[in-house]
Chains A and B, each alone.
Chain A
Amino acid sequence: MNNDTLIPKIGVVTDIRQDTPDVKTFRVVAPEGGKVFEHMPGQCAMLSIPGVGEAMFSITSSPTNKEFMEFSIKKCGCLTEWLHAMEVGQQITIRGPYGNAFPVEGDLRGKDLLFIAGGIGLAPLRSVINYVRDNRANYGDVQVIYGSRSKDDLVDYQEIIDEWMADPNIEVNLTIDNAQEGWDGHVGFVPNYVKELAPSTSKTVLVCGPPIMIKFTLAGLKELGFTETQVYTTMELRMKCGVGKCGRCNIGNKYVCKDGPVFRFDQLGELPDEY
Chain B
Amino acid sequence: MQKISKSRLYELFDAVAAKQDLYIPTDREEGAAEYKKYESGMKLTKELNTVRSAKDFFFPQTENLAEFRLEGKNIEVKDIREECDDFVIFGVRACDAKSFTILDKVFLCEPVDSFYKNRRDHGTVITMACTRPAETCFCKTFGIDPTVPGGDVSCFDDGENIFFLANTEKGEKFVESISAFLEDGDTDKLMEVQTRAREIMGKLPLANLSTGNFGGDKLNEYFNSDKWAELSEACIGCGTCTFVCPTCQCYDIKDFNTGHGIKRFRCWDSCMYSDFTKMAHGNPRLTQLERFRQRFMHKLVYFPANNDGEFGCVGCGRCLAKCPISMNIVKVMKALEAK
Contacts and interface: CB of A to CB of B under 8 A. Distances in A.
- Say if A and B assemble together: yes
Interface of A: 1-10, 48, 50-54, 76-77, 80, 87, 89-93, 236-238, 240-241, 243, 245-250, 252-253, 271-272, 274-275
A272 B225 CA distance: 12
Q: Which of B223, B271, B284 has the most A CB atoms < 10 Å from its CB?
A: B284
B83 interface: yes
Interface string B302-338: 1101100000000000000000000000000000000
B111 A246 contact: no
Nearest to B242: A247
B272 to A, nearest CB: 12
B41 to A, nearest CB: 36
Nearest to A240: B253
Interface in B251-304: 251-253, 255, 257, 262, 264, 266, 269, 271, 276-281, 284-285, 290, 294, 297-298, 301-303
6 contacts: A6-B253, A77-B279, A245-B107, A246-B269, A274-B285, A275-B284
B83 A1 contact: yes
Query: Interface size for chain B: under 10, 10 to 19, 20 to 34, or 35 or more residues?
Result: 35 or more
The 7 closest A-B pairs by CB, nearest first: A247-B250, A77-B280, A50-B68, A253-B302, A253-B305, A4-B114, A50-B262
Contacts of B194: none
A242 to B, nearest CB: 9
B68 A51 contact: yes
Contact of B66 (A8, A92, A243): A8
A50 B264 contact: yes
Nearest to B78: A7
B75 A89 contact: no
B25 interface: no
B118 interface: yes
B306 A253 contact: yes
Contacts of A87: 73
Given A50-B264, A51-B68, A93-B75, A272 B249 contact: no
B40 interface: no
Contact of A237 (B65, B113, B220, B277): B277
A238 B277 contact: yes
A240 B271 CA distance: 13
A52 B253 CA distance: 12
Given A50-B262, A91-B75, A272-B219, A243 B68 contact: no
A105 B115 CA distance: 35
A247 B253 contact: no
A139 B249 CA distance: 44
A50 B278 contact: no
Nearest to B248: A247
Contacts of A7: 65-66, 77, 79, 81
A90 B73 contact: yes
A80 B277 CA distance: 18
B271 A248 contact: yes
B281 A76 contact: yes
Contacts of B219: 252-253, 271-272
B300 to A, nearest CB: 11
Contacts of A51: 68, 70, 255, 257, 262
A275 to B, nearest CB: 5
A92 B302 contact: no
B280 A245 contact: no
Given A6-B253, A50-B264, A91 B114 contact: no
